[in-house]
A and B are shown apart, each in its own frame.
Chain A
Amino acid sequence: MDLILFLTFAFVAVACAINLVLQTHPISSALSLVGVMGSLAVLYLLLGGEFIAAAQIIVYAGAIMVLFVFVIMLLNAEGEPVAMGPKLSRTLGIPLIVALAGLLAFIVHRVLPPGAGVAFGKFTGGTALDVGRKLFTDYVLPFEVTSILILIAILGAVVLARKEIH
């Protein structure tokens, strides 16, 4: 059952990611990215991360991507025309990407120690209780620093997006 769920959602994630890269209109790309995030949330659930799965949907898919969709709609973005690069880069492109992915996957397989595999329910330490406990004891300094970071980001966004009144 884990295998079927993993394969289904991994396939959906990769299909949505390829769709993101290949679509011309930014809105279709944005919604494909939402699809990637949704399937990743299911994969996090399979890995026992229930809080992080909910945070992925609430924060990433439900707020950040909504911001992207808003900006695309506000700017009335259109599909970008297809640009043809030089012949050399067109022929070498896909083989180089596959080579890069293959190299990284090979390194991962060599370095990773053999384990028992991922079964749903083996790791129950990803609840909100565990995350909260760790977050407010061991990681309280990064937590406070990120809250200041968000404040700076809000200020920066407001200043940058303001209309100049001459």
Chain B
Amino acid sequence: MNFYLLTLIKAGVVALVLLTSLAYLQWAERKILAHIQLRQGPYRVGPHGLLQPLADVIKLMTKEDLLPPYVNRFFYPFAPFLAVMLSLIAIAVIPFGPEVSVFGQRTLMQLTDLGFGVLFLLAISSLSVYAVALGGWASNNKYSLLGSLRASAQMISYELPLAMAVVAPLLMANSLSLREIGEAQAGFYLGFIPRWFVFQWPAPQVIGFLIFLVAAFAETNRLPFDLPEAENELVAGFHTEFSSMKFAAFFMAEYSNMITITAFATLLFLGAWHPPFPAGWGSDYVPVLVFLTAAAVSLYHGLNPARGRDRRSLPVVSLAFFAVGIAFGVPLLQTYLTPVFWFAAKTGAILFLFMWVRGTLPRFRYDQLMGFTWKFLFPLSVANLLFTGLVVALSGE
């Protein structure tokens, strides 16, 4: 098959999967927050609220799209456009699996393998400060301006420990290409400990991973670092004056940034698409087991329903899980699906951590936030980098 046609198909698949997971990430966040707060979350629209994202999209699209007369005419529509464009571009360099052959042509499970993929992701995160700064300034509203200036100052300050935490695994991978970083984490020590960078000898990157996670929380403006968009502090921060589609654009950009940065964390620290125990111990059948268990659980709840509606919808869900579980078991599809499953499982685990923290921790005050990065996180990340460099140089790699 032609290279261009294959790339177009890959781009289409990635875009479709990304946009769907954005919508369902929002559903998952609302459900997880609700259960942490001992309530139920979206429940009525579709089985267990699964059609809630669709309802939200319809609402946002049919709302009146205001252009207030006091805003800057060019930058007011430009800021959400920039936010969405930057957050969707970043997915182009993320690899989801090893090199596979599709219909006889060898291709990467990645849209493009840049030789400087890590620098590309850092560049995109540097540029996304503009969307926030311009959004607040163009709104001609003092609360928006304050919120956007705080958010941009926070984002630039936390880019420093983020970049330093990124450099340490690069010393062990010897490459800036995200594919090679993923492939450098293949294999197992002693037959069962995975060679992920968070465990890799000579310098296990545990501290680096924690620094990256904290910086990731601040880069995406999530709790506990979300003072710039806190509802009870600054009205709604920098997106106060935006309505309907422009607000949806900022929202989408925030979730897309979360997915990108957790995928980046998985690639750098948690071993990309490699399973936690060898294939010889059955790691290829873990996805099959997971989906068949999900099918059994939903079938059980469908047969003993809590509500009348569940009697009709849950068996269908159970059938869907069963079909996916069987698909993971087919050896032909396993080469494509299993790496993607492990990658998605690790990214999903970190995203669950993001939502768990949002439901649990209180918010930092702005001066505490800035003091934390400049006085603690940045020196710690530099120390981590120096230690890793020393150890790697001494071990003679």
Contacts and interface: CB of A to CB of B under 8 A. Distances in A.
B123 A66 contact: no
Contacts, number: 55
A49 B130 CA distance: 25
A51 B119 contact: yes
Interface stretch (A56-64, A91-99, A109-117, A140-148): A56-64
Interface in B171-217: 176
A128 B156 contact: no
A58 B123 contact: yes
Interface string A30-72: 0100100000000000000011001101100111001001100
Interface in B60-80: 74-75
A31 B126 CA distance: 15
Interface residues on B, range: 20 to 34
Interface string B24-64: 00000000000000000000000000000000000000000
B379 interface: no
Contacts of B12: none
A27 interface: yes
A38 to B, nearest CB: 9
Contacts of A58: 119, 122-123, 126
Contacts of A70: 133, 149, 152-153
A151 interface: no
A24 interface: no
B164 interface: no
A63 B126 contact: yes
B149 A73 contact: yes
Contacts of B126: 57-58, 61-63, 66
Interface of A: 27-28, 31, 34, 50-51, 54-55, 57-58, 61-63, 66, 69-70, 73-74, 127-128
17 contacts: A31-B75, A51-B119, A54-B122, A54-B123, A55-B119, A57-B123, A57-B127, A61-B127, A62-B126, A62-B127, A62-B129, A69-B134, A70-B133, A70-B153, A73-B133, A73-B137, A73-B145
